[in-house]
Amino acid sequence: MSGAAAEAAWKDPAFVATAHAWLQDAAAAHAHPLTGPIEQVHIRPWSTVFRAPAAGSALFLKACSPVQAHEPRVIELVAREFPDLVPALIARHPREPWVLLGDGGERLRRQLPGAGQLAVWRALLPRYAELQRALLGRDAELLDLGLPDRRLHRIPELLERVLGDDRSAPPDVRGRVQALMPAIRRACATLAELGIGASLDHDDLHDHNVLLDGARPSIIDWGDASLTHPFLTLAVTLQFAAAAGGVPAGAAEIGALRDAYLEPWAAFGSLAALRRAARIGSALGAITGALTWYGIITRLDGVREDEPNEMASMLERIASAVGALEP
């Protein structure tokens, strides 16, 4: 089955009918009766999204494949502890990896496609960091949600598995990353010395996965999330914020966002120490992104064939990011 065929499975009439029925029942049970037809607005091999108009707003049903089955449970956890960080949780299916959410507004990328995003990130990142800090020490609970275990002590081993798989990338690309494994181990050990444990990492936190409803930002698409060092989240977020703002990654505006994220972590060290740790986390974050993609291409038939160069590109990013850490 190709990646296209995996997407076609989401269009199967039996699946669509079942999803529609649950959406309608869940909406009615939670006082959100539908006011119009349901549309399937997003399809990828690993998930699909249905949109349904309801009184005064809209509802969104996301159905996940087994490779991202943890997402509804993660959203439920965040909604319980930091409800302002996600759209309103309407219902989670008791058996299937499906979640029904309220309307969180327009995607940040569409609403503020330029430097105006920076103010939103300045407000959102400390709150997101507070969530991560609140979840420190709760590894067993987070793993029970089905989150992939990518704690620092496991990252080298997990990456070695990718490098040992001939399917992942050409030998020269894998060899460049393999040569950096001692540096990766040192980076993991150095970051661990700061004393901040593992927590929930969204791992794909950028302007397409943030919604803006008036002045309220919320985070969607937790399918790439894992249990790892929280600072690894900065790899994606700061890169995309710089691109949207039209400034270099080392610009003062991006440094200010990094520092805003670091504010809730002040008890763990000086600002200089936290900045050093953030630099390491930003580099290691390239690895967790690659591990996510490797899980997709090895568990969903056809995706690797449809995007044959993506894994190699991710390994190249690891080599570049980790290489920049070395003197």
Query: pTM for the full model?
Result: 0.96
What does the pLDDT read at residue 132?
98
Query: Would you state the pLDDT for residue 327?
Result: 67
Instruction: Tell me the two tokens of residue 40.
Output: 């399937």
> Can you give the pLDDT at residue 267?
97
What's the pLDDT tens digit per position in 282-327? Answer: 999 999 999 999 999 999 988 999 999 999 999 999 999 999 997 6
DSSP string, 23-89: HHHHHHHTT--B-S--EEEEEETTEEEEEEEETTEEEEEEEE-GGGTTHHHHHHHHHHH-GGGSSPE
Q: What is the pLDDT of residue 3?
A: 64
Task: Write down the pLDDT at residue 225.
Answer: 98
In this prediction, the residues of the chain whose per-residue pLDDT falls under 70 are 1-3, 327
